[in-house]
Amino acid sequence: MQTLLLWLFYISSFYAFIPGLITRIFGFRVFRRGSTEHEYALTFDDGPDPQYTPQLLDLLKKYDAKATFFVVGSHAEQHPELVKRMYDEGHLIGIHNYVHKSNWLMRPATVTKQIMKTDKIIHSITGERSSYYRPPWGIVNLFDLNKKRSGKFKIVLWSAMFGDWRERIGADKLTERMLQKLHPGEVLLLHDCGTTAGANPDAPRQMLIALERVLEEAKRQGLKSIRVDDMIKAKENSPENKLPFSKLAIVRLWLLWEVAFHKMFRLKTVNPYDPMLHYRVRKYSGQKIELDDGTVLEKGDQVVELHFDNEKLFRFGVRSRSAVHLAIHLIRTMEKEFPALAQCILEDPKAMDAKTLYGVTMVNRGPEQFGFRIVDLKDGLFSRSSRLYLKFLLSVIHPSGQSRLKEQSQQLVPKMLLMPIGEFLERYAESGSHRHHHESRRRRNEQTEQNEPNDLNLTAQELESSTPAI
């Protein structure tokens, strides 16, 4: 019996668990997330539902939002008028099996029949075949990934789901969860039907309340919901898609580590809706330092430690035309982020009690224009490990990272960025004197960008060095 159970474990792992792991971590032959600047994707599973799908379509029409519906074939067969309305109103229709059953529990031939039967139903209603498939619960098996099937049907998973199939979550909690993931490129998973196994029949009511709030916020932020096929086309044409698969795999693993790091050390995000800066309050453990205003930083003092959002850095890097362009992106972003960071510090008692802002950077000239003091790191394990990490970071995000590492390896030494909390608040808090500095820097950077092709006085050596790898 024990041997039989062991063999069942081996077979199930090979058939579904390992393929599922590969698709989730590396995105192998599936689509999970886009790389758009101002668009995200709303996707809805399990419908159509005669009670909630019409309400959902009304809501999407009100906000001029396009969505992707992964329909259950048996539900589409029962409510063809709803599928026709989805199609007529410009939404994309995908396949979610004929019955809501996991591919883990079905033979490959059975899964194929489920997909083809649903495709035939969609074609009979709309006159078009579907090319997009989402397996129930996102569980793929080994045969879902073969070239024959993946060539005909694009498997679409998601980057964020919210448990909206449970009514007890409520609209308020659901709104909070969705707003945390309302970013460009996100593929949001929701459900317009609550009759499948494990769902609550009236859960879509809470989803609709939350969705209207999110659509309103998206409108305020200038974000637009688009169909999955449009997002896939945008990703295929994006600079990220031109990178080698090996580099993309490294980036994905690295970003998974970033997520784990943020959770382990409970980093706070300055702007959750468009994350770029994160921070935490911690004890300083380096050498004694006296700053220009007389502040003495000693071991054990509280500091506000700054961290860039490295996914945003990566996107900046691969989309930048040059090192100058990347630097300008970062400078402009910091000019927007620092006032928001100042407000976070004012509202955080622990941060207000800290002595200084603190970060570690590989390039050392640019941060001074923001008021930071650059201090050498004492040679040791932390310095050496920081150098290795920041070299890796630079090679990933920088338009010419590898060549710059080879050409200037001796100059790439990690150093500390420091600024007393009081001085930072004076510069950047809304009641402080930062506005004059901010406006003059903004005008200077706009002039620099206009002159970029011809003016080499502020080129890579000057502005490239202003890229703080915090």
Q: Is the pTM of this model over 0.85?
A: no
Q: What local confidence, expressed as pLDDT, does residue 323 receive?
A: 63
Tokens, residue 260: 């784990």
User: DSSP code of 205?
Assistant: H
Q: Report CA 136 to chain centroid distance, whole Å.
A: 23
Residues of the chain with confidence (pLDDT) below 70: 1-28, 141-151, 239-243, 245, 321-324, 326, 362-366, 380-387, 389-413, 431-470
User: How many helices (H) does the chain have, and how many strands (E)?
Assistant: 19, 17
Tokens, residue 243: 């990178």
Q: What local confidence, expressed as pLDDT, does residue 444 receive?
A: 46
As a whole number of angstroms, the distance between CA 121 and CA 195 comes to 20
Which residue in 84, 87, 149 sits closest to 114, CA to CA? Answer: 149
Q: What local confidence, expressed as pLDDT, does residue 433 receive?
A: 45
Residues 324 and 378 sit within 8 Å (Cβ to Cβ): no
Residues 414 and 362 sit within 8 Å (Cβ to Cβ): yes
- If 0-12 CB within 10 Å is exposed, 13-18 middle and 19+ buried, where does residue 284 land? buried
Alpha-helical runs (H) found in 79-137? 80-88, 108-126
Q: Which residues are catalytic?
A: 45, 191
Q: What local confidence, expressed as pLDDT, does residue 454 receive?
A: 37
Name the residue type at position 422: G
Tell how strand 277-283 and strand 132-133 pair up.
unpaired
